[in-house]
A = this chain, B = another copy of it.
């Protein structure tokens, strides 16, 4: 009796999904929206629309928009941090390990340019509500580089005088700048090439190679005296 079926009232298929799936769907939609619009301009209504629910539903699962963003970032950081720690296990030698960290970060940045752009932008706000959270995640993620450099110093491959924070600033700062170029449409990033070049620059720059070391110390002394006279 097809006619009978036709007269049944329309009943929306209220896809009542298990909590986990709903949360995952919202997070995915949120990530898309944040990537497209940035945090401030992203609209909860739009995220809800992407999932196919109404605004109110979002607030069943997340206290507020900020928490949504934090969760998106947290998930992302967890992923890449685990991936990094996993990948570096098998890599031996300071130079190789440094290359791995650089290469891995470039890979991440290159594959998630939009999201990385959002995260970095939001983490620089003066009073941004997100600063603290991002920095916490980031500290853990970048800790790997610290370990590599410290290890290199202990192993005598890297100059004793090397400032770990300088290296961290330099490596991540360099790659971050490459990201801005990418996002502004200037050019793509050739991950392997950039990794090699940056590694070359940085590793040669901090290498403890005997002859270099000597020269460096002399150079440093010269500068100090120069400023004195």
Contacts A5-B66, A201-B202; A166 near B174 (Cβ below 8 A): yes
- Contact: B129 with A5, CB < 8 Å? yes
Q: Which residues of A contact B (CB under 8 A)?
A: 1, 4-5, 37-38, 40-41, 64-66, 117, 120-121, 124-126, 129, 131, 135, 162-163, 165-170, 172-178, 180-181, 183-184, 192, 194, 196-198, 200-207, 210-229
Contacts A174-B174, A216-B204; A166 near B198 (Cβ below 8 A): yes
- A40 CB to nearest B CB, Å: 7
3 closest residue pairs by CB, A with B: A173-B173, A205-B205, A169-B177
- Contact: B205 with A201, CB < 8 Å? yes
Copies per complex of this chain: 4
- Contact: B217 with A206, CB < 8 Å? no
A218 nearest CB neighbor, chain B only: B214
A222: chain B residues within 8 A (beta carbon):
214, 217-218, 220-221
Main secondary structure of the interface of A (DSSP, over half): helix
- A37 CB to nearest B CB, Å: 8
A217: chain B residues within 8 A (beta carbon):
218-219, 222-223, 226
CA distance A223 to B198 in the complex (A): 13
A36 nearest CB neighbor, chain B only: B126
- Contact: B215 with A213, CB < 8 Å? yes
